[in-house]
Structure 1
């Protein structure tokens, strides 16, 4: 009995000792102490220590989870050589930038680019903070100067463009360029105009691949300002061919604020865009590459209609295309359609699979179907490409302002039911077992990653645009007004975002439930 009691006592002591040992394991940070001891508890830019540089005190937002400090100065032209007033959790803590010791409210530091604060307590606990000082609304700024008014979608106006990366991306000195309007209803109906920029020399913009042609999407009738961005990112994660990168920006035109825009790539054949062989009049291999658009507006110099009455514009090669090139791509497209509707259409050798890259079609379809894009069902901005010696694919995806429930008068406003699938070609393809399985498998494979990321993107963008959307709707006070095709008028930005979020949650849940009956 005594032996058993002694064993129990030893076991209790051992367990208690293990718990005690576990409870004092230090957090990372060096010096054997908790990293929280090296915390910066407040940071501020004060007028009294930055005379003539700022007009009002500005607090830093402290992100403890990511070790970041952020201050946004309201003046778009604010100076960034500033003295920061700060406090720390542990008395005697030192803060350095490289080898310079910072004295609170005294040491002037250049915050044109992000700066690293190296924090160290007297006990040796260390911690690094990324410190950023941004201007205006905190997102990149595009400054455009034009030699005259921009009144046309066809005629360019000379000018310059500069980029303020706002500490997030590389800034660019003024570069010569030409600018004109772009878009269809967005150009003709709305006061906030979209633009196309053509640089004189190729250049990277905000970390996007180098090119001459860039687009500024106004997103006037999308009061979340983010439908295009969210859909483009979904397409990129799904692997949809040539889905463009994009960046939110503030646009100033001749010194006047124009609002929040989305800068993205022009749809064109280019190694950084639609990376296929570029055809010229002297090209001897006429099998590619071609860029086509299904577009009921028929505003391209070369176009044709299929036997199913689909209007197809030849975007590249353009008006310089040779008769042989035009004849080839028209026949290839028609042969594809004929194969889709033939009696042996599902044959893996001689059916539609002979002409199209099914994986490319599936990724494009799932992007459009997920956000239920109004224009994607046989209307416009439906792009196809065919490279040299290759099958035809679909992409890039484009034009999402009338997606994610932002439509008032068609069945696309309902988050349930298939929509893009019921287009002329896709309705037939969906009846093929092999195509159907590809769609199901792709959705299942990407549901928890690419698709679920939509909702994290929405949450992130809502915070990222917090100041930008306020400025935008001060310039364009439309939150309480119906704008062409709006399904709802909520009167507030957060409610617009909630509506979009709810629509997509309902939409994704419906697809989850019905994907096996695609």
Structure 2
């Protein structure tokens, strides 16, 4: 009986409480004020002649992003938006906005601020990108670019696509072709280029300089092998590792594809930062290259191992400069292969910066770069009154399992180590100990980040790859010297990632017997 009375009391109390809870006179919940957006889009009907279909923007937290698929330089868009509550005031960069009417300029990110009727506020950072979302370089030249020897005058206009602060507009420049097989092969339809600004200027967040390179990556169907190598090099602090940006290039009104914009290999305070040579001091700085093609005006071979070395900077050394560097490198090689070669005072350590060599070697061996075994793009530098160092790393389109004419196509086996100087260094127990330690340390961070980079750029380049291979339909074709041609961009990226997974696993298994 007591339990029944207690139950009736609880029910009655609950009913009384429900009747007393009256928020608005009709037992409804209170209205919650908000200054948020529920939708944000670019409608074709309000942007006549610019788009053919509506573009929905993605709202994530306080960020709004959209990619308009057209290749357009007009960045003023009429936005149609809806707010969570009526009466909300919407401003873009402090200018009042009317849905479906006003058109801010989205050349740079735009800040939208919403203020509700009661004074609540919410801000959004809005980025509206064009075409593929990558920065776009519009280059106009006075004549077609048909030579790697003769420059053509032109102008560069940069659409940073709301990603970078780009103060320089209408950059006067000269343009020519670049590369060797990538330029001269008739089956390589997409060409690489060299840009030379008339005056130094920063570019897409990279430091001020005159000389820039557009790498075509025609034989690398992932478009990213060189970028992955550059980023790995920067993380392991390989000397003077280049900065780079993926860009779209429009040359004289013709879209010519996805390119990797990067710094020219040169002596420059923002590139290879060496002390300039002078008549009174010829001990540095020099930038020189091991190049089996001897593709330079000034070059020499070492008397002991016949190592072919070319002058990169200065490209036209004086007789005294040429004689000095040749003599220093000759002494270096002699010490490296002498009876006392591991002696700290008499051996190679007197002449080369071993840690600099190791950082360069680490990147090339990890990605198994075809050219890194005594062929080309192997850069050395010597600063004033200092030892020889290695860097920057360069030219990785034939790496990561993308070369069918040598053992570089296989994930197993030491490769870069087989170079004349590198093989000798690998015989030094002290070198071996330091390299094993470097690999073990980098394995948990830098190598993991390399795989994260592959995933990241594989996603970032989806739209760009689609446009690139629409312009250059090679995904299902052999392009020298491809090991595979798989018919889709995603499969090419997966092949590269799988190669690197196996490569890293092989090094893990063999590092202690290095």
TM-score, scaled relative to structure 2: 0.88
- Number of equivalenced pairs: 480
Matches of 1:337 and 1:78, distance apart in 2: 55
Aligned residue number for residue 240 of structure 1: 238
What is the distance in 1 between the residues matched to 2:119 and 2:500?
A: 49
Given that 1:279 and 1:316 are in contact with CA atoms closer than 8 Å, whether structure 2 keeps it comes out as no
Alignment-derived partner of residue 45 in structure 1: 42
Residue 297 of structure 1 pairs with residue 293 of structure 2: yes
Distance 2:379 2:482 in 1: 25
Residues 445 and 88 of structure 1, relative CA distance in 2, 3 Å threshold? farther
Query: Which residue number corresponds to residue 150 of structure 2?
Result: 155
The farther-off stretch of 217-226 and 508-517 is 508-517
Q: Which residue of 2 aligns with 1:139?
A: 134
Matched residue SS, 1:452: helix
Instruction: State the 1:209 CA deviation.
Output: 1.2
Alignment of 1:282-431 (within 5 A): 283-306=279-302, 307-319=304-316, 321-431=317-427
Contact 1:295 1:381 in 2 (8 A): yes
Distance 1:86 1:262 in 2: 36
Once residues 239 and 500 of structure 2 are traced to their aligned partners in structure 1, the CA distance between those partners, rounded to angstroms, is 23
How many Å separate the matches in 1 of 2:327 and 2:105? Answer: 62
Which residue of structure 1 lines up, in the alignment, with residue 104 of structure 2? 109
Verify: 1:507 aligned to 2:486, yes or no: no
Aligned partner of residue 270 in structure 2, secondary structure: coil
Contact 1:34 1:125 in 2 (8 A): no
- Give the superposed CA RMSD: 2.2
CA distance in 2, matches of 1:386, 1:51: 59
Aligned-partner SS, 1:463 = helix
Structure 2: how far apart are the matches of 1:78 and 1:265?
Answer: 25
Cα offset, 1:505, TM superposition: 1.4
Tell me what 1:11 maps to. none
Q: Deviations over 1:51-92 (max 9, x none)?
A: 34433211113344xx42222223322532223223456777
CA offsets 1:185-244 (integer angstroms, 9 cap, x no match): 100111111111111111111111111111111110111111111111111111011111
- Which residue is equivalent to 2:10? none
| 2:226 counterpart residue number | 228
The structural deviation recorded for 1:330 is: 0.8
Larger radius of gyration: 2
Deviations 1:362-381 (Å, cap 9, x if unpaired)?
Answer: 11001111111000110000
Question: How far apart are the structure 1 equivalents of 2:374 and 2:330?
Answer: 15
SS in 2 for 1:412: helix
What is the aligned partner in structure 2 of residue 482 from structure 1? 478
Question: Residue deviations 1:106-141, cap 9 Å, x none?
Answer: 343222210123356678775543211111211111
Q: CA deviation at 1:346?
A: 0.9
Deviations 1:329-348 (A, max 9, x none): 11111111111111111112
Q: Is the 8 A contact 2:93 2:110 kept in 1?
A: no
Distance (Å, rounded) in 2 between the aligned partners of 1:331 and 1:385: 15
CA distance in 2, matches of 1:367, 1:93: 55
